[in-house]
Amino acid sequence: MNRRQFISKSAVLLAAGSIAQSVTSCRSAATPNKGRIGIQLYSIKDELAKDFKGSLRKLSDIGYSMVEPYGFTTDNFFGHTMKELSNMVKDMGMTISGSHIWSSITVKNPTEKEWDFWKNIANIVVSGGGEWAVQSSLPEAETTDDLKQIVSYFNRAGEICRQGGVKFAFHNHTEVFSEIDGEMILDYLVKNTDPNLVFFQLDLGHTVNGGGDCVSILRNFPKRIPLWHASDFDAETRKYTDVGKGSVPYPTLFDIAESSGLEQLIVEQETEGDIFESCKVDFDYLKQFKWTKV
């Protein structure tokens, strides 16, 4: 083989190697992340505004297998539709679990406009391959009659979502651990909504902050709370902290995860400092539990 033939052959081999490496990289990027730990994108809202794709990539590199966006009163998330977001995270090895919905809902005498809203929400979530439409706030409630109206509204929204191919759920903050006429608001909502139409996403950190007992709630309502928001709250310092560093009894909770009907685990981080470092601490803590494995 002369020098020209050697150089020519080397160039061909180098090009083939580059192509193979490129194909491997593409395949690697599309390989689904292992595990069952997702994250609520509100955790990194400030970072998304600075570097949208780069921030999502960091979550994938940590190991998260799914993301839960928020907002979506219209099909727009930082300038992207749900379908566009879904395609983007799929290329990073993640999926969309569903979405939080920021809806200023009208529970007293709701009009058809309310129900058209939920029909549209169901279509948006389905377009991204999501399963859940999660109402992320509670309408003001001061009386049992107020709660009855909320229950009626949730049941109707749940029916519309089911018809649209998704499931309706409610995510708690601290106010649901207050009592109205001697009964805790969360208990009333779980007991009186239709179990086939309305589900619950228990935010564990908010539960501790509100004075609730995560373990008792899950034991009292098996199969009604299939979604957990993995957050943590230190009852002594009265501050939110990294998962595993606060007062949420995670080992006990995961002991009853199967019997309680846990289907989806989503981290929500609400602390200051290096947010991606905290997200990694959360992930590394949660991955020790058997339930989180594929």
pTM above 0.85, yes or no: yes
Spans of the chain, pLDDT less than 50: 1-29
| Segment 233-284, tens digit of pLDDT | 999 999 999 999 999 999 999 999 999 999 999 999 999 999 999 999 999 9
DSSP 199: E
Q: CB neighbours (10 Å) of residue 111?
A: 8
The residue count of the chain comes to: 294
Taking 3-state DSSP, the helix, strand and coil percentages for the chain, each rounded to the nearest 5, stand at 50, 15, 35
What local confidence, expressed as pLDDT, does residue 81 receive?
97
Is residue 65 within 8 A of residue 57, CB to CB? The reply is no
H-helix or E-strand spanning residue 121: helix 112-127
Domain 33-292, CATH homologous superfamily name and number: Divalent-metal-dependent TIM barrel enzymes (3.20.20.150)
- The span from the CA of 33 to the CA of 30, in Å, is 9
